[in-house]
Amino acid sequence: MSTKNSGGKSFHMKPGEFRRWGRVVVDWIADYQEGVADFPVLSKVKPGQIRDSLPGAPPTEGEGFETILDDVANLILPGVTHWQSPSFFAYFPANTSGPSILGEMISAGLGVQGMLWATSPACTELETRVLDWLVGMLGLPEKFLSTSSGGGVIQDTASSASLCALLAARERATNFAVNDRGCEERLVAYASTQAHSSIEKAVKIAGLGSRNLRIVDVDGDFAMRPDDLAAKIEEDKSSGFIPCFVCATVGTTSSNAMDPLPEISRIAKQHGLWCHVDAAMSGTAALCPEFRYIHDGLELADSYCFNPHKWMFTNFDCDCFYLADRAALIQTLSVLPEYLLNEATKSGAVIDYRDWHIPLGRRFRSLKLWFVIRHYGVEGLRYHVRRHVELAQNFASWVSKDERFELAAPAPLNLVCFRHRGGDSFNQTLMDGLNQDGKLYLTHTRLDDRLTLRFCVGQTMTEASHVERAWENILDKTAELENR
Ligand SMILES: Cc1ncc(COP(=O)(O)O)c(C=O)c1O
């Protein structure tokens, strides 16, 4: 077969053009960072508005890069909610930072697919090293080190990590029979009323079925009640069910409640359940020795995850997932077709992360994490985490000193749950009004069946002045509503 040279025709962006536009894009991002505080935090567009502003069909001929960038500013930015605004106090944060973005760019530039050690040894080995660093940085148990029976892996999200933990739990409880024969209807899992919705999703995906997720009661501080967990396990066992998994949360999404890990992990061990610990946002606090108490009891847990993409200045996506016994997960997920076989894998001397998570392919995510840790250093990271906690604690003290407001839950770290004493509809109007003004963004939850406002300090650039201004805005809006 003859291959004809097409005369050098190409539509690719040439390195020179890439260099030029790359610089423009980096400037664009830096300008955005400098100006992000001036945007209304919550996007004001109506449903469908952005889609309708875009052409119904793609361009037949390629377009100039300048036009594309103009469209980002004119068509896309109005539909962006500014998660990187220092006045973003909603949900949990989704951090970025300069070093993280630059690490992400290099990862994209290298375009590595690190499914096997052999497909890019550095992609695997940097990840292993950085995840081992984090064991020391957070004071996690040594069993999570790659040099022990366990190890860590970067997943896209905490949702995926919890799903993997549940799959391994399912297989351990059935001696790998479900992998072979399909699901066993008697398997049951446990999580508190306050666990993240990803646990119920995992239970559905793993084939246990939501009716086999037991919802454990919480105490007055919204933390799981170990006595209720133990009672539910006993009851299930005596009814012929097979308890296999419990998820404890360090820092629940609604209120930042801390489930009592020592008791939960002990009960799990006693009954042979896999204990997974979801510390999606709050795990980062353990960088600071004074907050490490949140992980007390982790020594008995089987797996653990936290998200540097929430509160460790690393852009989405980056979840660090640790296992005490990596073999359980690998045996659960391993499938090795001929086309992936290679000498390094056969030697057993390398880690192939392909079977540590659901997808086969994997990006070079450890680069951005490595950049962040090296740029800030452990002390730099601690400084900013401590600062966020201090700012949230200041906010909590202002709330508790104003008799029109009340704290709705303990605020152990950087999330403050509070409400005006005027009832649900007052709080709803207050929150909607604040968010519509665009000067800040906060979101709500329900605690004790009452509408509760959540104020989470964790955005990379948030300083004291932003928190002070937010409280002033809350007070101004409150006065406006009270005087209506
Ligand atoms: C406690 C907890 N777990 C899990 C999640 C889900 O995180 P991800 O988006 O990484 O799946 C969240 C998100 O806020 C969370 O707060």
Q: Where in the chain are the domains?
A: 16-42+81-97+377-484, 45-79, 112-363
Q: What is the DSSP string of 276-291?
A: EEE-TTGGGGGGSGGG
pLDDT reported for residue 184 = 82
Mean pLDDT by groups of 10 residues along the chain of 484 residues = 61 96 97 96 96 96 96 96 98 96 98 96 98 98 97 98 98 96 93 97 97 98 98 98 98 98 98 98 98 97 98 97 97 94 93 96 97 98 98 98 97 98 97 96 97 98 98 97 90
Q: What is the pLDDT of residue 4?
A: 47
Q: Tell me how crowded residue 106 is: count the other CB atoms within 10 A of its CB.
A: 12
From 83, 258, 281, the mutation candidate for ligand 1 (largest count of ligand atoms within 8 A of CB) is: 281
CA of 392 to the centre of ligand 1 (A): 20
CB of 249 within 6 A of ligand 1: the answer is: yes
Please work out whether the CB of residue 459 comes within 6 Å of at least one atom of ligand 1: no
The response to whether residue 157 sits with its C-beta less than 6 Å from ligand 1 reads yes
Q: Are strands 303-306 and 242-249 parallel, antiparallel or unpaired?
A: unpaired
Q: Is the CB of 198 under 6 A from ligand 1?
A: yes
Q: Is 307 in the pocket of ligand 1 (CB under 6 A)?
A: yes
CATH for the 16-42+81-97+377-484 domain, from 3.30.830.10, 3.90.1150.10, 3.40.1670.10, 3.40.920.10: 3.90.1150.10
One fold for both 16-42+81-97+377-484 and 112-363? no
Residue to mutate, 91, 156, 159, 303, ligand 1, most ligand atoms under 8 Å from C-beta: 159
Q: For ligand 1, is residue 313 a contact (CB within 6 Å)?
A: no
User: How many Å is the Cα radius of gyration of the chain?
Assistant: 24
Residue of 95, 196, 311, 413 best suited for mutating to test ligand 1, as the one with most atoms within 8 Å of CB:
196
Centre of ligand 1 from the C-alpha of residue 20, in Å? 38
Q: Output the CA 157–ligand 1 centroid distance in Å.
A: 7
SS (H, E, C) 290-308: HHHHHHCCHHHCCEEEECH
Rounded CA-CA distance 427/284 in Å is: 30
Q: Ligand 1 mean position to 344 CA, how many Å?
A: 35
196 lines ligand 1 (CB under 6 A): yes
Cα of 92 from ligand 1 centre, angstroms = 8
> Class of the 112-363 domain?
alpha beta
Beta carbons within 8 Å of 154's beta carbon, 6+ residues apart: 127, 131, 318, 319, 320, 321, 362, 365, 366, 369
pLDDT of residue 68: 97
Q: What is the pLDDT of residues 386-437, one digit of tens each?
A: 999 999 999 999 999 999 999 999 999 999 999 999 999 999 999 999 999 9
Interval 258-301: pLDDT, tens: 999 999 999 999 999 999 999 999 999 999 999 999 999 999 99
Report the alpha-carbon distance of residue 370 to residue 366 in Å, rounded: 6
Of all atoms in ligand 1, which is nearest to the CA of residue 307? 10
Q: Say yes or no: CB of residue 278 within 6 Å of ligand 1.
A: yes
CB atoms within 10 A of CB 445: 18
